[in-house]
Chains A and B, each alone.
Chain A
Amino acid sequence: MEHSSHESLLKHPNSITYESPFPLYALAISHSPYRVAVGSFLETYNNRVDILSFDPDALTLKPHHPPLSFDHPYPPTKLMFHPSNPNLLASSGDFLRLWDLRDHSIEPLSVLNNSKSSDFCAPLTSFDWNEVEPRRIGTSSIDTTCTVWDIDKGVVETQLIAHDKEVYDIAWGEARVFASVSADGSVRIFDLRDKEHSTIIYESPQPDTPLLRLAWNKQDLRYMATILMDSNKVVILDIRSPTMPVAELERHAASVNAIAWAPQSSRHICSAGDDTQALIWELPTVAGPNGIDPMSMYSAGSEINQLQWSAAVPDWIAVAFSNKMQLLKV
């Protein structure tokens, strides 16, 4: 596999790069006017989120004018825009915070803090905004719980002790169904109508191998993807067939860091990792004897830490590596 020359890609009309003064991690893209929120990853208290403007016709990606940004304590672990409102942004880190993007500034709207003491909170590893019920945001935390917030009222709807160890990711499947992954190595599904039970649909083969990320296929809710810590495999699950993966995509040369289903096609998924590759896979109806090969591949300049494939701009895949953010046209 050859590495494309990085410099030539910077000028390529089908990839657009933004270079930040600091390492980037969290990424989010809104619907028109296509704002891109990028979060810094500095191992210190002072971090920030900057808003960029993406023009898919002029193919430009540059800081919003007038400048929109806000300080954030510790690196944001995730950023996400409201499913339909490009002016509303949520961030997770020490707390779940909501931000209002106005013409000239960003105003903090609320800090959703569920902890009993105002001084200490358990950091949030991730969250997901429910597309069917946008007043619901689910958060995952290192304290083994998942919390469902009603952000209109600013109150907790439900808090569940979801796992035996830290919860690393959460994804909504339906208005009242979500799934989460944990350091305890399990993928569990929760139904808000039946809070007394959860369903384990997969556990890592080596006990207690953490599962780091979870992606629920929004085009076909039967399918989910997950990745194990320090593993080069993408595990594809069918919830109709619990415990056994329907596929394991094993073509990365190093650990996979991020996964994203295609927003407009149920059969495609993208993965990216420490081998600096982003791979797009087309999942077949039948798998061959040698496993599944990726359909296409992109080489970034360094390890890819983040991947977003937004329904707002389905023709573009966003990646973050080092201090750069790139939009790649598919």
Chain B
Amino acid sequence: MERSSSVRKGAWAEEEDILLSQCINKYGEGKWHHVPLKAGLNRCRKSCRLRWLNYLRPNIKRGDFKADEVDLIIRLHTLLGRTANDVKNYWNTHLRKKVLCHSNSVEEKAPDVAKVKVIKPRPRTFSKNLTLLSGKSPSAESFRPNSNTINNYPTPTSSDNLIAWWESLLDDKEGDETDACKKSGVHEEPKPNLWVNEIAPEAKVIGGFFDEDMNIPSCLADFSETGLWDFLNAEEGALI
């Protein structure tokens, strides 16, 4: 459409921004060739569209690039090796619609994020020789604190603590937020390994696992001969 005067170039004035925004809000995006006329703007249609998309649109993120954003840009740029223009074009043609649909639904459905206090539990470990299976006397339970200090407390029997710990773990009571386990001191009492698996020359019955009262449901007591599974011969010595 020919104009008698040439279109304005250069920086957009605030009044122009307002006119353009009002026009888009009224008529929606698109039909950019009508926009200058409807908005009463002396600007070319391409300029109107670019001004809206790059500056006036409401959901544009503003502010300086944050450190993690910059970091991501650098990493992706190095990784992709594509030109910025190619990335932009790929985004617009292939990804924009699909990703925007998803992010909209995320924004609608995500609950308000209340401040959640993040707790870092201190891990404790047990020495390799502490086990309840043998009934032998215990050795140490030790803490591995985050800092390098080790707590020295007078020592209640460590195996009691181990028993207390796993029993409390598996009981059904919903307790309140108190220490379920007591701390104990640290002292080593080296013991030989009590349970060996493949290496022992003879099987040791230590009260191994799966003792007494295990009922195998009849449906598994013999896996039915489906012909699907290859049944491997149990050697007498290997399995009981």
Q: Which of A115, A194, A198, A243 contacts B126 (CB 8 A)?
A: A243
List residues of B (75-91) whose CB comes within 8 Å of A's CBs: none
List residues of A (183-235) whose CB comes within 8 Å of B's CBs: 186, 188-201, 203, 220-223
Question: Which residues of the other chain, A, contact B226 by a CB distance below 8 angstroms?
Answer: 12, 14, 329-330
Proximity string of chain A (240-262) to chain B, C-beta cutoff 8 Å, 1 when within and 0 when not: 11111111101000000000001
Interface residues of A, CB < 8 Å — how many? 99
Question: Which residues of the other chain, A, contact B234 by a CB distance below 8 angstroms?
Answer: 293, 295
Question: Which residues of the other chain, A, contact B133 by a CB distance below 8 angstroms?
Answer: 238, 240-241
Let me know if B223 is at the binding interface, CB within 8 A: yes
Q: In whole Å, how far is B117's beta carbon from the nearest beta carbon of chain A?
A: 8
Closest to B110 in A: A113
Q: Please report whether the interface of chain A is mostly helix, strand, loop or mixed according to DSSP.
A: loop
Stretch from B17-25, B42-50, B99-107 that touches the partner: B99-107
List residues of B (172-220) whose CB comes within 8 Å of A's CBs: 172, 174-181, 193, 195, 197-205, 208-211, 214, 216-217, 219-220
Let me know if B116 is at the binding interface, CB within 8 A: yes
Question: Which residues of the other chain, B, contact A31 by a CB distance below 8 angstroms?
Answer: none
Would you call B238 and A292 a contact (CB within 8 A)? Answer: yes
B interface list, Cβ under 8 A from A: 68, 95, 98-99, 102, 105-107, 109-111, 113-114, 116-128, 130-133, 144, 162, 165-166, 168-170, 172, 174-181, 193, 195, 197-205, 208-211, 214, 216-217, 219-220, 223-224, 226-232, 234-235, 237-240
Question: Which residues of the other chain, A, contact B178 by a CB distance below 8 angstroms?
Answer: 193-194
Let me know if A59 is at the binding interface, CB within 8 A: no
CA of A73 to CA of B217, assembled, Å:
41
Would you call B102 and A73 a contact (CB within 8 A)? Answer: yes
Closest to B163 in A: A240
A interface list, Cβ under 8 A from B: 1-2, 4, 9, 12, 14-15, 45-46, 71, 73, 95, 108, 110-116, 118, 120, 145, 154-156, 158-162, 173-177, 186, 188-201, 203, 220-223, 236, 238-248, 250, 262, 264-268, 280, 282-299, 314-315, 328-330
The 5 nearest A-B residue pairs measured at CB? A288-B238, A296-B229, A198-B121, A14-B226, A161-B120
CA of A40 to CA of B84, assembled, Å:
31
Not counting A161-B121, A284-B240, a sample of 18 additional A-B residue pairs whose C-beta atoms are within 8 angstroms of each other reads A71-B102, A110-B109, A113-B110, A113-B111, A114-B116, A159-B117, A191-B180, A194-B179, A200-B125, A239-B169, A265-B216, A265-B220, A266-B214, A289-B201, A292-B238, A293-B239, A296-B231, A330-B223
